[in-house]
A and B are shown apart, each in its own frame.
Chain A
Amino acid sequence: QVQLVESGGGVVQPGKSLRLSCAASGFTFSDYEMHWVRQAPGRGLDWVASISYDGSNKYFADSVKGRFTISRDESKNLVDLQMNSLRAEDSAVYYCVRGTAAGDYWGQGALVTVSS
Chain B
Amino acid sequence: DIQLTQSPSILSASVGDRVTITCRASQIISDWLAWYQQKPGKAPKLLIYKTSSLESGVPSRFSGSGSGTEFTLTISSLQPDDFATYYCQQYNHYWTFGQGTRVEIK
Nearest B residue to A60 via CB reads B94
Residue A103 lies at the interface, judged by CB distance under 8 Å to chain B: yes
Chain A residues near B100 (CB, 8 Å)? 44-45
How many of B's residues come within 8 Å of A, CB to CB?
A: 22
8 A-B pairs with least C-beta separation: A102-B34, A106-B43, A47-B95, A45-B97, A102-B49, A44-B100, A44-B99, A104-B46
Would you give the shortest CB distance from B30 to chain A, in whole angstroms? Answer: 12
Residues of B near A50 (CB, < 8 A) are 94-95
B54 shortest CB reach to chain A, Å: 12
Q: Which residues of A contact B68 (CB under 8 A)?
A: none
| Residue with the greatest number of chain A CB neighbours at <10 A, chosen from B43, B87, B97 | B43
Residues of chain B having any CB pair with chain A under 8 Å? 1, 32, 34, 36, 38, 43-46, 49-50, 55, 87, 89, 91, 94-100
Within 8 A of B (CB), among A42-86: 44-47, 50, 59, 61-62
Asked if A95 CB lies within 8 Å of chain B CBs, one says yes
**Inter-subunit contact A103/B44 (CB<8 Å):** yes
Interface centre among B36, B95, B97 (most CB of A within 10 A): B95
